[in-house]
Amino acid sequence: MPIIKATNLEKHYPSPEKPGKTFAAVNNINLSINTGEIFGLLGPNGAGKTTTLEMLEGLTDIDNGDVSVNDINVKKNPYEVKKIIGVQLQSNEYFDRLNLSDLLILFANLYSVSIDPKALLAKVDLENKIHALPDDLSGGQKQRFSIACALVNNPMILFLDEPTTGLDPQAKRNLWNLAKDLNEEGMTIVLTTHNMEEAEYLCDRIAIMDKGSIIAQDTPQQLILDYAPEPNETPIHGNIEDVFLALTGHGLRD
């Protein structure tokens, strides 16, 4: 059952190369994302992934086409959509004198909801950092905290924009496990990523974008069968990332 539907979605920006002209950052795309799945948007830089995500979230105006989220029209009721989604952005700025507990309470107040900060931090494995400041956190911990902030309103849908960019292998695996756990609890997750292994491991279905258009869309397994059925060679062992995790301790937290 689709929880997100995008029909003939378009977004245009002024062309940097042709004054007075525009270019299509998102060019007439169609998406249908099912309840309870992890759906990935892949593509090179400038493909239109983040712009697409921002239109689905109601954060960027839609030039043409329509988006519905849980049967709510995003163009007509963007604030109603924001009540049922959580958004983890590529980068975040916080009030640097507030600790993690205070920040979560602040975000919860914006939604007019009550939360247990310690329980929410425990969900992202940061309960022992409840009194820490954002600057005290490692890169992986900051990413997990940004997800905690996105969960204060107990959203139906969680949007993740390149959530593991710049993280070391252990922090990345921790975040993958968190996404899997949230999904198993029933949360629909939509993410963008440049990491092919991440997409294959996490996503039930994938849409691949290039130059503002969707050029392929299916399950990871079916896309492999359709476009890469015969690898150059058959792997006979793990990769260097597996070596790193084995040597540094797979069960350790960053």
Of how many residues is the chain composed? 254
pLDDT (0 to 100) of residue 94: 77
pLDDT (0 to 100) of residue 227: 87
pLDDT (0 to 100) of residue 248: 57
Q: CB–CB of 157/74 below 8 Å?
A: no
Query: Is residue 241's pLDDT more than 80?
Result: no
| Averaged pLDDT for residues 128-142 | 92
> How many Cβ atoms from other residues are within 10 Å of residue 237's Cβ?
6
Q: CB–CB of 152/115 below 8 Å?
A: yes
Tell me the pTM: 0.89
Interval 83-121: pLDDT, tens? 999 998 766 677 778 999 999 999 999 999 999 999 999
Residue 110, sorted as left (phi over 0), alpha (psi -120 to 50) or beta, turns out to be alpha
pLDDT (0 to 100) of residue 251: 43
Interval 18-46: pLDDT, tens? 898 999 999 999 999 999 999 999 988 88
What's the CATH fold of domain 38-58+83-229+238-248? Rossmann fold (3.40.50)
| pLDDT band, very low/low/confident/very high, at 247 (cuts 50, 70, 90) | low
Average pLDDT, the chain: 89
Tokens of 169: 């292998």
Q: CB–CB of 98/106 below 8 Å?
A: yes
Residue 105 burial class via C-beta count within 10 angstroms: exposed 0-12, middle 13-18, buried 19 and up: middle
Residue partners of 77: CB distance under 8 A and separation at least 6: none
Helix (H, G, I), strand (E, B) or coil at 138: coil
Helix (H) or strand (E) holding 51: helix 49-57
